[in-house]
Structure 1
């Protein structure tokens, strides 16, 4: 048994979520090669030093390049703003480090292709943190669709609703700067439901979208004036899929009363599946094969060890898990992939495919017409889904 020695770039929200995932993986999943928390990195020395102590990292750095150059690091975990992902990921791959990056993978399709080429050329393991794939209810939905339980898929309707910017006086944040974030609700929230839809249903063919920025400028937190908001507050789009299905998608930070309402409904010829992350331990299922007088949506509590993926590691039936557990499942799967030198998904090719959908929507907003989703095969190997 060896160790997977981790260098984590970023120490705030995602840094904290990823740290507990590495610790929980060691404790609950007993990986072949456990994680070792070697170094955490951030630009503010006082803050990152405190984070290292609080989270239990062996050391800290203030320059991500120093982390990549270290000989005692196997995995680089990127939890920084979107505009930094490309440089860090490519440098890590060239140094022979495995790479995990937060979503969205990049600021553009071009950047995503460069990142995919870097990890493909060097042969390192790579993964994008679309953590919602690792919710047991989503794993069950994937299994049920693959088994044909809802038949041919006709409709997908998905939305991701938050309200943390609904107050016009909420202060400016880095997520509102296009140069840093790449986009607003579209890249932050639509990216998740695009990835879930690709995972559950298949590839996008064409899209048409619209977006809006409701509040054009925001007060600066220190009270010294205002800054222009350069990203979307909401983006909505329609989609057609390679398999003939159609879908509608919506992401917003202005859905007053909604905190983290990620919802996906998939309607098929024989049934339907509904998932709502705010009830993440449950999956709703309707089947036309039920006797007519008994038909209706049933509510499946997805907490059964042996029956439901990942649940063997946790608690007795009916004992719920939460948001942080999806990160643990992700880390566990990545540890297995690294130790056994096996593919893991969603990887950088999945990140690119998601980016191609997001960018096609952006193009359609400008052209005010339907746009085809790029499916170039000039990077990496296209795998069977």
Structure 2
């Protein structure tokens, strides 16, 4: 269905909400038509900035989803509410973009999948790195066979913000009830999606998890609160085709900013990418009769790449996209996360 203007409802007006509204402003046939947050001050400030009428400023997510003037929803809320918002969107038949991870638990994920199969809706899960130029270029390299048969994928995702010297305060991300898991759900889920994007489905996984800092200070009470989620997650896996995988992630890596790096090892070559250099691909191959080593850095033009939210709008307009992470991708990602958690708990490799 093509529309002159897509009216968008935004749920969650924190940093991720601003991020999505900024990107929406670059899509000519969209406009923010309604907003929602439990923080009434944020609703007032953003509503005033966007010049929205009072009836389009919501505090109840069900009301904005049910608003017939809203064509689709963008949801950027804490993990605890992903299930509720996605469930109501499915019930109402409302297209939705929802941030990752899909849910907190497999029980939530299973119920959403069952509901979706009975009443499918256009849904995109926010695995945004698929839309980095380097990711899209490497996807083509793999599909074209440039690297030969893929044997191994390795990835790490490191930041420094949770290291002790920064005295990071207790937030919902350190609470299992709110987040489901810690670093695994937060940024580790991106590594799982990268592996599925480049290689395919997971078949086995063995995980280890640790909590480096087991108490943090709640600024509201000035009391120490127990951290009951992971600060570190590492896992090895087997993906379809017998591809081996090695992954680790934490936010205790001094000197890193947003260091998400992926390396693919194939029979004909190796490719390395980093989201901190999203327009670069480092390719190493051996060529010719003497198998001479060739190393090159490929520089990409990000202007030729379709932005994530543009892809979702095109999807709503019936344009197929091989990049778009659907509700099925969210569900399968959650299955892997749960297998990692279960394996780390009892030390047993899980078959998926």
TM range (shorter): over 0.9
Report the CA distance between 1:192 and its aligned residue: 0.2
For 1:72-87, list aligned pairs within 5 A.
72-87=69-84
Q: What secondary structure sits across from 2:207 in the alignment?
A: strand
Q: When you count strand as a share of all residues, which structure comes out higher?
A: 2
> Which of the residues 198, 205, 214 maps onto 2:212?
214
Per-residue displacement from partner, 1:330-384 (whole Å, max 9, x unpaired)? 11111111112657721010011111111111111112121112xxxxxxxxxxx
Q: What secondary structure sits across from 2:25 in the alignment?
A: helix
> Which of the residues 200, 223, 244 maps onto 1:202?
200
> Which of the residues 172, 175, 183 maps onto 1:174?
172
Q: Counterparts of 2:113 and 2:105 in 1: how far apart (Å)?
A: 12
Report the CA distance between 1:54 and its aligned residue: 3.5
Per-residue displacement from partner, 1:32-86 (whole Å, max 9, x unpaired)? xx22211111111112211233466664211111112211112121100111011
**Equivalent residue, structure 1, for 2:305:** 309
1:146 aligns with 2:148: no
Per-residue displacement from partner, 1:279-328 (whole Å, max 9, x unpaired)? 111111112226758624311111176xx533xxxxxxxxxxxxxxxxxx
For 1:45-84, list aligned pairs within 5 A.
45-54=40-49, 59-84=56-81
Q: What secondary structure sits across from 2:145 in the alignment?
A: coil
**Equivalent residue, structure 1, for 2:337:** 358
The 1:246–1:124 alpha-carbon spacing in structure 2 relative to 1, beyond 3 Å, is same
The 1:130–1:254 alpha-carbon spacing in structure 2 relative to 1, beyond 3 Å, is same
Q: What secondary structure sits across from 2:264 in the alignment?
A: strand
**Equivalent residue, structure 1, for 2:14:** 12
1:95 aligns with 2:92: yes
Report the CA distance between 1:9 and its aligned residue: 0.6
Is this contact kept in 2: 1:100–1:128, CA < 8 A?
yes
The 1:109–1:343 alpha-carbon spacing in structure 2 relative to 1, beyond 3 Å, is farther
Q: Counterparts of 1:121 and 1:57 in 2: how far apart (Å)?
A: 35
Q: Counterparts of 2:51 and 2:138 in 1: how far apart (Å)?
A: 36
**Equivalent residue, structure 2, for 1:325:** none
Report the CA distance between 1:122 and its aligned residue: 2.2
Q: What secondary structure sits across from 1:279 in the alignment?
A: coil
Is this contact kept in 2: 1:9–1:42, CA < 8 A?
yes
Is this contact kept in 2: 1:119–1:126, CA < 8 A?
no
**Equivalent residue, structure 1, for 2:317:** 339
User: What is the TM-score when the length of structure 2 is the normalising length?
Assistant: 0.93
User: What is the TM-score when the length of structure 1 is the normalising length?
Assistant: 0.85
| Stretches of structure 1 lacking an aligned partner (at least 5 in a row) | 27-33, 311-328, 374-385
1:299 aligns with 2:289: no
Q: Counterparts of 1:47 and 1:214 in 2: how far apart (Å)?
A: 34
**Equivalent residue, structure 1, for 2:261:** 263
CA RMSD of aligned residues (A): 1.9
> Which of the residues 13, 27, 36 maps onto 1:25?
27
Report the CA distance between 1:2 and its aligned residue: 3.2
Q: Report how many aligned residue pairs link the two structures.
A: 346
The 1:44–1:195 alpha-carbon spacing in structure 2 relative to 1, beyond 3 Å, is same
Q: Counterparts of 1:290 and 1:108 in 2: how far apart (Å)?
A: 51
Report the CA distance between 1:223 and its aligned residue: 5.3
| Stretches of structure 2 lacking an aligned partner (at least 5 in a row) | none
Q: Counterparts of 2:91 and 2:319 in 1: how far apart (Å)?
A: 18
Is this contact kept in 2: 1:16–1:55, CA < 8 A?
no
The 1:261–1:25 alpha-carbon spacing in structure 2 relative to 1, beyond 3 Å, is same
Q: What secondary structure sits across from 2:276 in the alignment?
A: helix
**Equivalent residue, structure 2, for 1:323:** none
